[in-house]
Every structure is written in C-alpha cells, then in structure tokens.
Structure 1
Amino acid sequence: MEAKELAEDTNIANSRNSERVIRKAHEGETARHIRKESYDVVVCGGGLAGFCAAVAAARHGARTCLVQDRPVFGGNSSSEVRVTPHGAAAFHVYAKETGIISELLIEERARNHEVIFENGWTNSVWDMAMYDLAVRTPNLTFHLNTSIVDVRKSAERRIEAVIGVVANAETSLELTGDIFIDCTGDGIVADLAGCEWHMGSEAREEYGEPHAPLRASGDVMGSSLLFKTVNTGAPAPFEAPEWAAQLDNPDYFYKEGRRPNDIRGGYWWIEIGMPWHTIRENEDIRHQLTRYVLGVWDWIKNKDPKTKELAANHAIDWIGQVPGKRESRRIQGLYLMTEHDPMNRTVFDDEIAYGGWFLDLHTPGGLLAPTSEHASAEGYDETSPYMVKSYCGPYGIPLRSSIARDVDNLMMAGRNVSVTHAALGTVRVMGTTAIVGQAVGTSAAIALKRGLAIKDVPDRAIREVQQTLLRDGCFLPNAANEDELDLARTARISASSEAACAGMGPQMDDKRRFPETEVLRERKGQWIAIAEESLARVSVCLSNLSDAPQTVEARILPVDHIWDYRTEELEPLAAAKLAIKPGATFEWVEWDVNLTKAGGLEPGKYVRLDLLANPNLQWHVASAAVPGHTCAYEMGQGKMRRDWNGPTRSFRIDPPQRSFGPGHAVNGVARPYRYTNLWRSDPAKALPQWLELAWEQPRTIGHVELTFPGHLLWEYHGYAPFYRDPQCPKDYRIEAWEGGGWTEIAAVRGNYQRHCRHRLEKPVTAAKLRVVIEATNGDPSAAIYEIRCYPPQAQ
C-alpha cells in the first residue's frame, strides 16, 4: 500500500472512531452495529467452491460479495484443516482441473517451500495465495469471520438479503443481492430460505444405485482431523493425557484399513461422524477427533512395534481444531445426479464441469465402525471388486444440479449440490467443487448480463456459459472452442518447427533395474497418437525375469480418447505373440505391424498398444513423459485405469508420427483428449521457436490469450516446493507484422502460469501475428496448447 493511501485510510479510521465515541457519549449505542450493503451476487461460503464462484462472477462484471465464516479462505484446504485438494487427476492422466483453481495451485507451488503429500498439508502460503487473489480481483468485496444467521425473502420464492454476524466485531451485515450462491457446505442459506434438502443415504431401490445401502438412513460420511509432526533430531517423548482414546489392538489399525504408514502425520481415517449429528454436534465431533488424534499418536510413538523406532525423534507440531467435513445437507436442484451419471458418463446439454474421483463412500462412523472405508478395508488394492465397481469418469456435471428448485435466485456449489449420497462420493472432492464453483459464478454473471432468470440459463444461455468457461481456461469433456469472435480460428497457422513422436526408451540405471510395478501381472496399455497413414513397426522394451523363453500377446486397438479404458469391446487392428529370450534385460522387441489407413489406421486419432499379462516379463516405464502419450493397466471387468508408475511406457514407432503440428493450437481443445492437441517444437532445434497466425486480410487485435503445457499430469501433491513446470514457457514475446517487419506488442519474463491473457495496451491491425518462445522452465521444446485472438471490443 502506498504511503498516501495508508495515511488516507488512517484518517478515515480515526474519523470513524471519533464519530463513534461522540455517538456513544451523546446518543447511546446499540449492542450490535448493522451495516447494509448491496451487490449483484452474494456468495456465502469461502471454501474452494465459493471462492472460485465469487472470483468468476466478479471477473465477469458482477458486483460480488464473498462471505466466509472463518478467518481464511479455502475451507477444508485451508491451513486450519490442511486437506490437500484432490480431483480427477488422481485417476486420469491429463484430467487436472484448470481455470481459477489451477491458477491458484500453480501460484502456491511456485511460492511455497513446503513439501505437500497426499495426507497433508496445506499451509499459510496457500491461504495467502487465495487472499492475494481476492484482494486483487476488481468488483469483489469479501467479509471474513462472518457467519450467515438469517435470510430475508422478498417473496415466497426469492431471497432479498442474507444476514451475517461478524465475530468479535459486534457487527451485523445485511447483504442484499440479485443472485445468491450457497457454498456453505451445510446448505445454511438454502435451509433458512425454506428449500427442500436431503441428508443421509437413499435406499438402493429408490434410484437403483449399486452403491446405495439396502435401507435408507440418516447416516452420512464423517469428518476428519489432521495432525502434523516434526523430526526434532533427538528423542521426543510423548505421554497421552488420560482423556485420550486408548488404542491397543493392532488389528484396529492393520486389519481394518487404518495404516499409520507415514510418520509425518495426516491420516484421513481419523474420522468420526455418526452417531453425532454432523451439523448440530460438530463441536462434540471435534472433541472426539482430538481424543483420537492423541490416541493414534500414542499408539505410533509408544505401543506399535512397527512404528516406535521410526517415530522416536518425531513430535506433534500441529493438531487441527476445525474438522474437515465430508457430508451434510444436499439441496434439491433442478436435476438430481445419481451414481448412474458418473458411472455411465451421462452427456448433459448443460455440462459446466467434470469429475473423475472414484465413488469414495466412507463408512458412517469412521473410527467407531469396523472399517473406515471400503477401499482401505481391501488394503487399497486397486484391482479389488470395490475399486473396480467404483472407478468412474471423467464425466460431465450439469448446471441444473447447482440451481435450487425452490428459490428462484439461489444457486449452490460444493458438497451441498443436488446429488444423491452415492453420487456425492465422487462429486464432493475439492478439485471438482472448485470448477463447479467457477461455472456457477460465471453462470450467475451471464444471467445478470442477459437479464435471465437463473433457471432459464441451462436452456437459453448454456452455450455462452460453456464458451466463456473454455475461454477462461476450463475444460469440458463434451464442448470445444466455437467462439465466433476468436480470430485465431480463421487463421492459417504455421511454426518454426514441429516435433515428431518416435517413442521413448527407459531410464538405464541399476536403481531401476527390476521394479515390481513394471511386471506384467495384468494387461498394460500405451496410447500412441497417429498422424501418418501408416504404422510399419512398433517396439517395446522388455525384461525376462525367468530363465526360459517367454511370449506375450500384443494388440493394437483403436480408441476414442485417452480415457477410453475398454479392453473387451474393441476389435484389434493387429495382434501377435512377441517372443523374448531367457534372462534378457531391457531388450527391444520389434513387431512389424504394417498398418495403413486402408487397414483401419486413422490419422488424427489414438491407438492403444496393449501387452497382455505375463508375470515373467516387465514392460519398462519410459525415462520421461511423451506429451499426450499415456499408459494404463487392466483393473478388471473389462476396463483399465491410469498407471501411477509413469505417464509413458517404453515404446518405439516407425515411421515417427508428426502428432504435434501447429494446427493443434487452434483445434478447440486445450489439453490431450481425443488427440495430443499440442504444438510442440522439434527438441533438436534450439530456442527460440515460434508459432504464427496469418490471415488473408489484416485483423484488428486487442487480446491475445495463450494456454501452455504443464500442471496436468498429477494432482497438487505431486509437485515439489517452488515448482515451475519445465514444459511451460518462461520467456516469450508476441509480435505483429507491421510495415514489412515484426513489431513486439507484448513480452513476458519469468512466466510459470499455464493460462496467460494479454490485453494489448494499443490494439494492432496486422495480417500476421506470432508467439516467439525464447526460453522454457526446462524443457527443450517450445509448446502451446491453444492460442486465441480477439478484437478490442471482445472483453
């Protein structure tokens, strides 16, 4: 803040204090001060869903207020709870949620020194990344430490205002608005407004959901309390208080799916809900969870022979005192998602987001139940019947599930959307709720701009919502860029060079010679993008763990996209048995497939190279990821799942496939999906490299928008402290062809964000424009997923 601004704020504060003292002395003062504020959109709840909804609405011109009942944003992801955001990328390569949530997480990883792992922890750097964005967002006002306690309705079906109480401030807020968005998790606004909501589990017969219990009940998933330890470098004794939970039975941990497998802490399974009411008795749940955190640590430190020595020098550094809640009220919307929608990948006309987490239904009761979760009870076996049954996505999510049925100006995002208990198992994770939140905030702003009732948006404005989300960096499985204002779609596109995919070999060192994860205990597959009209030969790098000759069945199958996991329904384009010598290590086994377009090979699509199971053989992981070339393994019942061991298996192809041409940057999809969708320069040619747009007639350009590679392969906790993705361009410039030469119109140094929008200081009229990438954050190739150009008036 500038000194002048600070002085002005100080004068204002002093003036207010003086007025307040005079008023108190001469007029008396009520117990609570009431402030009245008016907005276009009021978002209640500042978790990831509410935060993204508020930022999106404000960015699209709506005067927006965000109300949060905690001192920090982020909800379960904040430093108060410290659950790392999960999403579709846990189960599907290149399925990472993008848009506002991606912008935040990339920023946090670039700034943060903290190692993040699956069970924790986010810290205050994450809080500040969100706070910083909130402060910098025009049209956005926010109130922290403010709980919504009442709703005022102007008519039976319309909210006029919400009433909030600011903690420790003796102040009430009366916030009027045109549209309200309930992101409170517990559905507080909807409940106060008289909406129908559901809580608990539907009976299986109600919707025919395989994951639903036989009988309906009020049971919900529980809340968790995380903790963190620190290595003190010396013995750190611990004595639990007498009121801590007494845990002495190894079976409670090792046979019931509660594995203390990381001395650093975390443990989502420190979870309790039933028999306590997840809303009204939240404080009782918090106390019980605290008892169990101390009891679990006492077991690890003092009783468990498997962990006592490992934990000897570790001490508790932090215990959360805000339970991370999974489930409570679910508000009835215009559409109720059941588990059939994610399992069958229902295609919705009003798709505004997607999910990809499995149907993760925790056992009601948590620590008080026989097991904490079905998957944990099966030892996290990724091929167990429950995991096979529960694997789903990526699937679309409709806007109608976020529009309240009973109130005309109420929307919702987060875990309180219109879904069944079974469907909530996948929809509830924070990566998913964040992109639903962005879509809801965007929809609210568009409804106001067009003068529409929010219930009419799915029918009358859904294309505008979808195209706006795509322009803002989001992804939708069933929509592509069709923006008529995007000038890049009408340009001829060329590049200084383009990469060709010839495959990738394994890392050859003794440390990786025979990892168990590479054994062909089940069928494994490798996606290959086809660009040419022929594929003469494929090769795979295998090792034979036995002293006898081995064979493996190989197949090449046509697939629709990188998440086409079918194994039984696809007719092979080619099949063979490959032989490998006894005791061979890292042997390249060649297969002359001689596929052509006439034989079913389709340029511009994927095929999948599958090797069937042979536990005597290993198929080695590639030494690096080939962009857009993912791999998977068969989990059962005729379907595959992503392979965590590496995004690419070792393979070679002849001829190399030119699958990274410049045209992909304007094909409407900004990540690998049905194809690579990426321009990538030849890695053998030094930077700088460029991508060029050319038009028959000059175009007036006011905006250039770029989507770069990076941050799509893994979940948030897969990235290191101070991480900047090597594939992402670091230094680049944008040039326009003016007066017979190239003129620089924008330049960036030190970039690490994947979605970059440039509003030109002065619009340029030119027949050619190019992006010149001078340096990346480590990758030898320049690369762009998408380029868009807009006239000045296209805000």
Structure 2
Amino acid sequence: MVLDKFNSVRMLNTDALQADFVIVGGGISGVCAAITAARQGLKVVLIQDRPVLGGNGSSEIRLWMLGATSHMGNNNRWAREGGVIDEIMVENTFRNPEGNPIIFDSVMLDKVVSEPNITLLLNTCVYEVKKSAGHKIESVRGFCSQNSTMYEVTAPLFCDASGDGVVGFLAGAPYRMGAESREEFGEKFAPAEDYGELLGHSLYFYTKDTGQPVKYVAPSYAMDVTKTVPRFRSFNAKEHGCKLWWVEYGGDLDTVHDTEQIKWELWKVIYGAWDYIKNSGKYPEAETMTLEWVGCIPGKRESRRFEGDYMLIQQDVIEQRHHEDAVSYGGWSIDLHPAAGVFGEESACNQWHSKGVYQIPYRCLYSRGIENLFFAGRIISVSHVAFGSTRVMATSAHSAQAVAVAAAMCLEENISPREVYSLGKVSELQKRLSRMGQYIPDMKIRDEENLVKKATLAASSEYHFKGFPADGEMQALDESVAQMIPLHKGDRLGKVKVGLFVSEETLLEVELRVSSKPFNHTPDVTLETKTVSLCQGKQQLELTFEAVMPEEQYVFLVFKKNPLVQLQYTKERITGVLSVFNTINEAVSNFGKQTPKEDIGIEEFEFWCPKRRPGGHNIAVQSEKDCYVFSVSNIDNGIDRPVQSPNAWVAELNDPAPALTVRWDSAVRIGKMSLFFDTDYDQPMETVQMTHPENQMPFCVEKYKIYDGEGRLVYEKTDNHQSINEFVFPEKLVTDEIKIVLEHPSDLIPAALFAVKCYE
C-alpha cells in the first residue's frame, strides 16, 4: 500500500468499544473485579496502562500479595480472602511455589484471557472522561502506545481501580489526599504533622550468585548510602526483593505528580546500596553476586482516597464494628510509615494490629458524587489511618469482587450503585458473594435457593475428636504453646492427657483460655489456671477443666514456656484444628505482645500464631470426651471455612470410602453444583519471592466422584487443588439423591468438605 506522504491530514487509529462494565486499572483488584464481573455475565473492558497485569504484585514491581493473613504473624486464623483472589493465589501456589514473579504474571493473564466476556486493553492509559448531563460518566478515552490507537469505551457502569484514581479525579469525584486530623474522626492514631501525611513509594532489586567473581562499577548517579541513609547497615548481601520494603521515599511529596522524581531518588539509593555491598569489603559473600534486576516502576502505597457514602476509620478496624452492609473484610495491621522513609531516623513503619478481622461496608466502594462510579483497590473510602490496613493487595481485591457482583445487580435491576444499599439489596449481594466463596466475618448467610437446604444429609462417618495419637516428636517448651480445640456452647473440655518428658523437677503452668469475641482467635480471657509439679522423666500429664463454654468457639489449652519440659506432638492433621505459639514475627511487628506506649486507641494483647509447614504439628492432646464438631450438618450452616468452629464435615480417618449423601423427598432439577474444599485458609500463600514447601494444600481432597439416585456416575474429579469446584451439568440433572464419595488426602489427614451447593 502506497501512502501520500504529503497528505497533511493524518489521524491516529481510533477504536470505539461498548461494554456493560469498564474497569480502569489492571492491578490485582482490577483483575479480580474483571473476572468476577465476567462470570456474572457482564461484557467487561479491562484497561491497564502497563504491559502486564498485577500492579504492585506484577513482575514490574514484585511485591508479594498479602491480606488478613499477614505472613501468619497475627491472630487472624483461617483469614485468607476467598473468591477469585483465593482461586488465583491457590493456582499460583500450585504452579509456582518458588514465587517466580514472571510465572505469577502468566497465572493472572491466563485467568483473564480465559474469560470470553473480558476485552483486555494493555499499555492503554486513560486520559479523558466524558460525562453526560448530571453526575454520570458516559465514556473514557485511552491511548495505547504500542499500537498507536485511541480507544473510546462507553458503558453504563465504571470502576476506578487505577491506584491513583484517574477516572474519579477526571470525573470530579470527591477525594482526599493526606492524613486527617485526630479531631475529625476521633482517631487517636492519626499522625501528627511532623510524621507526614502520606506513605511513600518503594523500589526493589534482585540479586543472583553467578558462582564466579563479578565486578561492579556504580553509575554516576549512585548515592553514597553511608552518608544519606541512616539505616545503611541494614543492607546486606542476602536480602533482596520485597524484603527491602523499607527502601521507601516520597511521603512528604505529591505521590501522584512527583512519582518520577521519587523513582530517581530510589534508583540512586539502590545503586548506591549495591555499590556499598559489593565494594565496601564488608560483604565478602557478595564477590560472586550480580545485580540481576532493578525495578523501573515504583510500588505506590498511597495517593488519592475517594469519598463514598461511608468512610471507614480507625475505630471500625480496632473495635471490629459491625456493619449491616458488610461485603468484605480486612486484617492487615494499621501500617503507617514516616514520610522521610529511607532517609529518616524513625522506625520504618508503625504497625498496630486488631484482635481479629474487621468488616468493610459496601458504602465505601462507590462514589458519593458520581452516580455510576465504583472504586476498587487502595482508593476506596477510608481515612488515612484505616487506609494503613485496607491498602494491601488481597484486601483490596476482596472488596473489588464485591464491586463486580454489585455492578451485575445494578444492570439486572436498572439501579445505581447507591441504590443497591438504599433499596435494601445488600442482603442479596451478600448471598451472591457467599456463593463464590466470599467470606464476610460476623455474618451467617442464609441461601434458601440452595437446594441442599431442602434435603436430608447423611454421611458414611463423622470424625469424633478425642485428641491425637502420640506418634510425633517431643518438642521443648522453649516458648508458650496452645492447642486450639473447638467446642460447642455449653461444653466442657473435661479431662485431658498429654505426654511429657521433664529433664529435671519443675513446675508447669497450664491455662484454659478463650477469645472475648467468639469469632476471634485472640486468647485474651483466661477461664482456668493450673500449676502442676512435675518430676524428672517421661510421664503422662492429666488435667481436668470444668469451665463451661459461653459460646461455640475455640478453647486454647495453653502450656506456658518452660525449657525443662518437652511436649508430645502428633503427625495427624485435621481441618480446623491448630497449635499456636506465643512467638515473635518481626516482619509484621509481632514481638509476642502488642503493648502501645501511649493511648493511641490500640488494644494490648498477646500474639498466638501457628508455625509454617512442614512444622506446625498439633499437640498430642487426648480427651476423655468426644468432641462432636465435625458433623454433616455443617455442610449447609452458611459458613464455609473455620471461624468459631471448623464448619466442616470431616470423615473418620479409617472410613475406606467417605461418602456424603444428599437426599430429597422428591426429584429436583440441578443445573449447577459447587463443592467447597479445604485449601487451608490459614496459609498466606505469598505470591512472589517466598517459597512454599508444597504446591497442594495437604487438607484438600484431590479425588472424588458424584453419583445420582440411580447410582450413575455424573461427575468425577481426579486432580483437584482448588477451594471451590463449580460445574454446570450440560443437561439439568433430575434426581432425588446425590452421593459424593471422597478420597482422604493422605493416611494422616481425613477427608473434609465445607459445603455443597446446588441450584436449579
């Protein structure tokens, strides 16, 4: 084709797209919102200004994704976020236990391109918003530098998941930038002026040992970190990637418009730090190491925060306030950083935890000023203090999923985002979220459309917990440890036994504790204390506890620290039963006990956390009484993970073919069916850098078969590793019975199932 090179009228290629729902921002939140919306039947356009998906979690920035689980360093048990974000994290762990950020990119991209309802625009930067009459967005315009194409995308609903809130900003949505005063919301942890109003950006680098000497000549712009970075001695040859989250800067600048300036300062620090490591002579182990990768895009923590009809504040987080319109939750600490970042003398962060997870209301997820605009990611409606917790990726993504389902409801009923709340539709939203595995704390969802609610349930066996066999190691009580045991309301623990080895005569203190809020897992209430004299040698300790459980909840059988005593452990594991330790995890400011030095509205309490596998075995406690908490009735109780109890049907380990039968009085028509398995919601599954000892969770049932009332095999799975298995029958299954036959995950772990859901 020959073009007239003298033609003076030349225009960029323009493409007009029409969608049901436009999501701007392809970070973790945008990805989860897009997939969720697409599965609700919406035609979605996902616009991302970078060449890869994932935002701060992508290979461009390489921050591990976390949320309420917080590196297993807090008291939030079984708190990993559910739904699509769980699906992605489980899949990444299955494919990528090594934490390779390039593989994680491919996992996210694979999930997005597998959805036919998603049109993905990469490398496309939104620069203009068109509004119709009133306060409504009509379309957005973006430019793709790679194909030199301008896109105009029109839709009835929009979601800003862009991090800096470009759509909300251009549309005129009310927003905030910087910290609120302590007086505005009564937040005692609101920072003083000298602490700074914003969290800064971070930039990471990766290193590699080549096995032979490597020379390094620093660029001219490398900074002398020994003169400029007070914590320069914290650099070392072993830590790289997001272990260096504290290499932060920009909290006292404009974190939107000064990003390039901030990036340059961080480059100067990184190249200067590597010069120090390589050439100072203090790190001989770095002789054969090279600088493999340095980030080009800083990881942003904070910029604009937009106003919804409700603004979450510190007290919502710490007091775990109840909201009738809760659709999500958080559990990361309130994590605020000094504005000076790496150049400051202060501690790199100030992390304060709540005693458990907290609810996030739906009213935080849409604009109070633009009637068809949702928010997802770090820009939702929260104060600066509460933002210190809600900003992390898994929490952001979990809320984004709620946005996507709400968008589907808006289109189905021709209502606005605000009207989902004002017209009393939130209970329907909560129900639809629960179907996709979206747990909402302190809320039991009743889904009467689930055909299982009308059925009779029976099982081939039910696990009667009387403790564990003493087939594991003896471990010294170098730190206090507790065995969590689930009990019904009104139950007593009664008589228990555990094996000990005592190196010399000593006293051992044993306590029985519970949480002050039964859905929490912070053992802050002591019911009974016993001090026993122990003689030297191997022995069996017998104790009787008479305290009556005030609620259905976990009791903590606490063995206080005593290095002269060894406890007997077991190899058996079971869904919803853990041992926890009063331990230290400095990565999340856990020093065994949280003790604020002044009244900043934060509670004092101890941390009791599990050990990561292959550690973390249960104590071989044996009970005189059966514990009937693994009943088949848990299958339809409305909670699909351990909370106050395991909430699972668990079969006896010696049951050769664990089977659950769902039986109706007359035939029903089943079009869709879901099974909810145990992928260990206590595992944080950090997406990059940290490695995991297994790629499949040991509690998860891998193989199962489903039969109808005539004994015909209607479905079979031989390679499951996901939390939720959802399948649609090509033709509706008409039957009065379904029988689900499971295989035990291993000889040491019995088969477990949280829920079965069937819909016409």
Deviation larger for 656-665 or 419-428: 656-665
| 8 Å CA contact retained: 1:700, 1:764 | yes
Aligned to 1:539: 497
Deviation larger for 174-183 or 497-506: 497-506
| 1:262 maps to 2:238 | yes
| 1:214 maps to 2:192 | yes
| 1:278 maps to 2:278 | no
Q: Which of 582, 589, 592 is the matching residue for 2:544?
A: 592
| 8 Å CA contact retained: 2:571, 2:748 | no
The structural deviation recorded for 1:397 is: 0.2
| 8 Å CA contact retained: 2:581, 2:611 | no
Aligned to 1:736: 708
Closer/same/farther in 2, CA of residues 543 and 184 from structure 1, 3 Å limit: farther
Q: Deviations over 1:212-256 (max 9, x none)?
A: 12349873111111111122223333332332121237993378x
Aligned to 1:434: 397
The structural deviation recorded for 1:613 is: 5.5
Distance in 2 between the 1:728 and 1:400 partners?
35
Segments of 5+ residues of structure 2 without an aligned counterpart are 583-591, 596-603
| 8 Å CA contact retained: 2:29, 2:393 | yes
Aligned to 1:645: 611
Aligned to 1:670: 640
Aligned to 2:340: 365
| 1:301 maps to 2:255 | no
Closer/same/farther in 2, CA of residues 626 and 589 from structure 1, 3 Å limit: farther
Distance in 2 between the 1:787 and 1:705 partners?
6
Distance in 2 between the 1:538 and 1:304 partners?
58
Q: How many residues align?
A: 728
Distance in 2 between the 1:677 and 1:288 partners?
51
| 8 Å CA contact retained: 2:196, 2:251 | no
| 1:706 maps to 2:675 | yes
The structural deviation recorded for 1:677 is: 0.6
Give the residue type in structure 1 aligned to 2:246: W
Closer/same/farther in 2, CA of residues 46 and 484 from structure 1, 3 Å limit: same
Distance in 1 between the 2:165 and 2:134 partners?
18
Distance in 1 between the 2:345 and 2:181 partners?
21
Closer/same/farther in 2, CA of residues 351 and 261 from structure 1, 3 Å limit: farther
Aligned to 2:409: 446
Q: Which of 282, 285, 292 is the matching residue for 1:317?
A: 292
The structural deviation recorded for 1:719 is: 5.8
| 1:59 maps to 2:43 | no
Q: Which of 137, 145, 149 is the matching residue for 1:171?
A: 149
| 8 Å CA contact retained: 1:578, 1:589 | no
Closer/same/farther in 2, CA of residues 251 and 405 from structure 1, 3 Å limit: closer
Distance in 2 between the 1:534 and 1:84 partners?
42
| 8 Å CA contact retained: 2:249, 2:342 | yes
The structural deviation recorded for 1:656 is: 3.6
| 8 Å CA contact retained: 1:404, 1:411 | yes
Aligned to 2:533: 579
Closer/same/farther in 2, CA of residues 577 and 455 from structure 1, 3 Å limit: same
Aligned to 1:783: 752
| 8 Å CA contact retained: 1:182, 1:412 | yes
The structural deviation recorded for 1:324 is: 0.6
| 8 Å CA contact retained: 1:557, 1:609 | no
| Structure 1 residues 205-604: aligned runs within 5 Å | 205-215=183-193, 219-248=197-226, 252-253=230-231, 258=234, 260=236, 262-266=238-242, 267-303=244-280, 305=282, 308-371=283-346, 373-375=348-350, 389-459=352-422, 460-504=424-468, 513-514=475-476, 518-520=477-479, 524-530=481-487, 535-541=493-499, 544=502, 547-557=504-514, 560-561=517-518, 563-567=520-524, 570=525, 572=527, 574-582=528-536, 584=537, 588-593=540-545, 595=546, 600-601=548-549
Closer/same/farther in 2, CA of residues 233 and 556 from structure 1, 3 Å limit: same
Give the residue type in structure 1 aligned to 2:495: R
| 1:760 maps to 2:729 | yes
Aligned to 1:661: 631
| 8 Å CA contact retained: 1:228, 1:318 | yes
| 8 Å CA contact retained: 1:88, 1:97 | yes
Closer/same/farther in 2, CA of residues 731 and 551 from structure 1, 3 Å limit: closer
The structural deviation recorded for 1:590 is: 1.7
| 8 Å CA contact retained: 2:77, 2:521 | no
| Structure 1 residues 58-77: aligned runs within 5 Å | 58-77=38-57
Q: Deviations over 1:592-620 (max 9, x none)?
A: 23x4xxx6247954322234555765667
Give the residue type in structure 2 aligned to 1:480: K
Deviation larger for 725-734 or 650-659: 650-659
TM, length-normalised to structure 2: 0.89
Distance in 2 between the 1:214 and 1:558 partners?
33
Closer/same/farther in 2, CA of residues 156 and 102 from structure 1, 3 Å limit: same
Q: Deviations over 1:291-317 (max 9, x none)?
A: 211222233333374xx1333332221
Q: Which of 109, 115, 118 is the matching residue for 2:98?
A: 115
Segments of 5+ residues of structure 1 without an aligned counterpart are 1-17, 117-121, 376-386
Closer/same/farther in 2, CA of residues 622 and 224 from structure 1, 3 Å limit: farther
TM, length-normalised to structure 1: 0.86
| 8 Å CA contact retained: 2:251, 2:338 | no
Distance in 1 between the 2:69 and 2:270 partners?
29
Q: Deviations over 1:173-232 (max 9, x none)?
A: 111111111101101111101122111111222222122123498731111111111222
Distance in 1 between the 2:56 and 2:364 partners?
22
Distance in 1 between the 2:134 and 2:336 partners?
36
Closer/same/farther in 2, CA of residues 432 and 778 from structure 1, 3 Å limit: farther
Distance in 2 between the 1:254 and 1:500 partners?
56
Q: Which of 28, 39, 47 is the matching residue for 2:27?
A: 47
Give the residue type in structure 1 aligned to 2:511: A
| 8 Å CA contact retained: 1:362, 1:374 | yes
Distance in 2 between the 1:507 and 1:259 partners?
43
Distance in 2 between the 1:588 and 1:228 partners?
51
| Structure with bigger RCO (C-alpha 8 Å, 6+ apart) | 2
Give the residue type in structure 1 aligned to 2:118: L
| 1:724 maps to 2:696 | yes
Closer/same/farther in 2, CA of residues 558 and 645 from structure 1, 3 Å limit: closer
Instruction: Describe the SS at the equivalent of 1:489.
Output: helix
Distance in 1 between the 2:731 and 2:182 partners?
61
| 1:202 maps to 2:171 | no
Distance in 2 between the 1:251 and 1:451 partners?
56
